[in-house]
Amino acid sequence: MNRPTLTHGIVAAAVLAVAGSAFFAGLSLWVAPHAALRWVTTLLAGSYGAYLLANADHRTGRIVAVVCWCVGAILTATFVNSLALFLIFHAAMIWLLRSLYYHSSIVAALADLGLSALALTAAVWAAMSSASLWLAIWCLFLTQALFVLLPRRSPVALDADGDNSEFERARRSAESALRRLAAMDR
């Protein structure tokens, strides 16, 4: 499957905002609003994590990622009392998942970390300005959707013959040999 597009991210943000605010409205009738917000945060972050995994090019490590996500969510729910820290931990889990599955350089991963911080800031601003949970969730995931605009690989300077080094030629040759070997096993 291809990397998600900005349009996919916008649609996902809209769906998550509507579902999250509706779930909060229903759940807050039975539990305290603080507890309902923690449940909604966990479910929305998990849903977004599942969306990221479903659209990732790499298929390896998905079970481990899901298990680690579940353990992280359980530990966060158990040991983190502050709502701000709770939100930060869930945003960090989203960032880590995107860094592992969508970014191939540390620069892109760090840019994504900045984007996650910006998304949390936008959500807090929207919540404080409008007192609307729907708008806060929308701003959070709409800003998160911008990760698709981050570069996949950093540009490499090429020399006169279109190559950047002997090492790169050797690496490409080795990758080609591995692809041929993998094709023979099928």
Condensed to tens digits (0 to 9), the pLDDT of residues 5-44 reads 899 999 999 999 999 999 999 998 999 999 999 999 999 9
On whether both 110 and 177 belong to a single domain, the answer is no
180 and 123 in one domain? no
The parent domain of residue 37 ranges over 6-155
Q: Which distant-in-sequence residues (6+ apart) come within 8 Å of 78 by Cβ?
A: none
Q: Is 95 in the same domain as 37?
A: yes
Mean pLDDT score, 94-119 = 92
- Please indicate, yes or no, if residue 122 is contained in any of the structural domains: yes
d(CA 163, CA 160): 7
Contact between residue 76 and residue 66 where contact means Cβ atoms under 8 Å apart = no
Q: Which residues contact 137 (CB under 8 A, 6 or more apart)?
A: 13, 16, 17, 20, 21, 44, 123
Is the predicted pLDDT of residue 178 greater than 90, yes or no? no
Sign of CA dihedral 1, 108, 96, 51: negative
**Considering the chain, what is the average pLDDT of its residues?**
88
pLDDT in tens, 48-60: 999 999 988 888 8
The per-residue pLDDT for 13 is 94
| pLDDT higher than threshold 80 for residue 153 | no
Residues 120 and 183 in one domain: no
pLDDT (average), residues 130-143 = 94
Nearest of 134, 155, 149 to residue 98 by alpha carbon:
149
Q: How confident is the model at residue 154 (pLDDT cuts 50, 70, 90)?
A: very low
In a shared domain, residues 79 and 148: yes
Within a domain: 125: yes
Among candidate residues 137, 138, 140, 92, the one with its CA nearest the CA of residue 119: 140
In a domain, 77, yes or no: yes
Relative orientation angle of helices 33-54 and 133-144, to the nearest 10 degrees: 30
Shared domain check, 140 and 171: no
Are 109 and 169 in the same domain?
no
Q: What is the pTM of this model?
A: 0.77
Predicted local distance difference test score (pLDDT) of residue 179: 78
pLDDT for residue 164: 62
